[in-house]
Amino acid sequence: MKEWWVQVGLLTVPLLAVYLHIPPPKLSPALLSWRSSGGYFIYKDQNIFYRDSTGAVGSSDIVVLLHGFPTSSYDWCKIWEGLTQRFHRVIALDFVGFGFSDKPRPHRYSIFEQASIVEGLVRHLGLHHQRINLLSHDYGDTVAQELLHSSLSSDTICRLIFVSLLPQGGSVGFTDSTSPHRCVLPPEQFPGWAPPAGTIRCVNNRFLFSILQYINQRKKHRDRWVGALMSTSVPLHLIYGPLDPVNPHPEFLQLYKKVLPMSTVSVLDDHISHYPQLEDPTGFLNAYLNFINSF
């Protein structure tokens, strides 16, 4: 009788081969519409997808939305219309490696590169001399922290909102875990999520490893990015879902308020988790606009 591990291997290899050749799911009508309403700009030979909507008449305010891992700008779809009723410009992009943007391989993905892409988009749109509101989630929070650090002297960012702020090497968060196991299945299979536009399939280990280097980067550059939050004069606000498994309640809020006592906080209903803009778009939008309109 063959060893059990040989039998498992003989079964696993063909199954994996079949899985690797399964084509990605077709885009839904909603995603097709999302893509058709956006466009691309080029950053160092990479095509970067973005959406830019002109909204409220009489407002000059601009908001740039930074999505999380492992999804895309489509994370903001449920609050997009509401934002256009308040802001003159509502802008979102897919980071390189995500959504409809290019996914080069091999490639050294980094938070610094993603921040530079955001700055490139702002320049591309001719907004680099204007003050901008940042609304960030998850992975995008760290990108926002780098943007905050790089713009401390230029006063580019006027208000910064964090959504589901991820742990920062045991500092602003309280654990080093960013739950990478959430990526065991293709992202379109995650329960409760709208299928993200062309995001990664985690069975591609090299690509996943390259993308996940942001975890090590956050540990390595902890002082830089947490320091940016602690020293900034930019108004900060956190929108928080108490059921967030990445940032459990109440420990996360206690530490957040200790590290950033100058930040204000909105706590949503008890059943809201890590994606409040999708789980409770009305409550989320009300919390955001209450903060924005307080100035």
- This prediction has a pTM of 0.82
For residue 269, what are the CA distances in angstroms to 164, 180, 229, 241, 285?
A: 14, 26, 26, 7, 13
**pLDDT value at position 18?**
53
At residue 148, φ and ψ (nearest 5 deg) are -65, -45
Q: Which three-class secondary structure state does DSSP give residue 134?
A: strand
Query: Domain ranges in the chain?
Result: 38-166+198-234
| pLDDT tens track for 231-260 | 998 999 999 999 998 888 999 999 999 999
**pLDDT value at position 155?**
66
**pLDDT value at position 295?**
85
| pLDDT tens track for 41-89 | 999 999 999 999 998 888 899 999 999 998 999 999 999 999 999 999 9
- Contact predicate 100/37, CB 8 Å: no
Q: pLDDT exceeding 90 applies to what percent of the chain?
A: 61
| pLDDT at 196 exceeding the cut of 50 | no
Per-residue pLDDT band for 16 (boundaries 50, 70, 90) equals low
Q: What is the mean pLDDT of residues 96-117?
A: 94
Superfamily for domain range 38-166+198-234: Alpha/Beta hydrolase fold, catalytic domain (3.40.50.1820)
**pLDDT value at position 156?**
79
For residue 156, what are the CA distances in angstroms to 12, 147, 183, 232?
A: 52, 9, 34, 12
